[in-house]
Amino acid sequence: MTTIQARRRLIVIILLCVAVGGALLRHFAAPASTARDVGTLLMLLWLPIIGNVVAWLVAKVRRPAAAAAAAVAVAPTGFDAAGAFQPHALVELTLRPPELPSDNLPIAEGEHRCALVVDNEGFSARWFVAPGGAFRRGTAQTIQVEFLAPALALPRFPRDAAFRMLVGEFFVGDGRVLQVLGRD
């Protein structure tokens, strides 16, 4: 159990004890007295915890542990370093210009990894800048991309599908699919 979980459990226990104390105070206090009103207020402190417990239960029901564990076991862990590049799609990509003009340098040669995002789903991909090739920010370029899990990604990337490129925590480019290789 993490520290946060332990603290949350302690808070729930304390608020439950306060609510039980409020119920006892309300039960034994004279009707229409201040003590009875204080007991009622103490009982109301339990209401926010009930909402949290219900939300936790709903999350548990929606996310069965067995299915999540099976999905993790099947998911590939990364591109094979020695594996050959096998493109799955031909895309038109425009990298966004950097905020500082001094950072507006050509993209380096070699392999680049990213996530291509459609709606709120991201798919790991890689692409290459050929030796001697020029890839400048702000101009549309046609490149080939390889998906880490093509069986999952390709149904979300049909011809003319728009996407965003995510590198780290930032969206750095926008693009669209020109052709799904092997299908068209």
Highest CATH level, class, for 89-180: mainly beta
pLDDT tens track for 54-92: 877 887 787 665 444 444 444 456 666 656 778 889 999
User: What are the Cα distances from residue 141, in Å, to 129, 135, 176?
Assistant: 11, 7, 11
pLDDT tens, position by position, 115-144: 999 988 899 998 888 888 777 888 888 989
Q: Of 87, 90, 85, which is closest to residue 143 (Cα–Cα)?
A: 90
Cβ–Cβ under 8 Å, residues 36 and 6? no
Comparing CA positions, the residue from 109, 107, 89, 90 lying closest to residue 98 is: 107
Q: What is the pLDDT of residue 174?
A: 94
Residue 14 CA, chain-centre distance (Å), reads: 33
Two tokens at 96?
Answer: 């966004």
Domain ranges across the chain: 3-74, 89-180
Summarize the confidence of residues 148-171 as an average pLDDT: 90
Residue type, 168: G
**Three-class SS state of 45:** coil
Task: Classify the C-alpha dihedral 138-142-147-152 as positive or negative.
Answer: positive
pLDDT digits (tens, 9 = 90+) for 31-61: 999 999 999 998 888 787 777 778 778 877 8
Number of residues written out for the chain: 184
Residue 66: the pLDDT is 46
- The tokens for 121 are 């789903």
pLDDT of 169 reads: 86
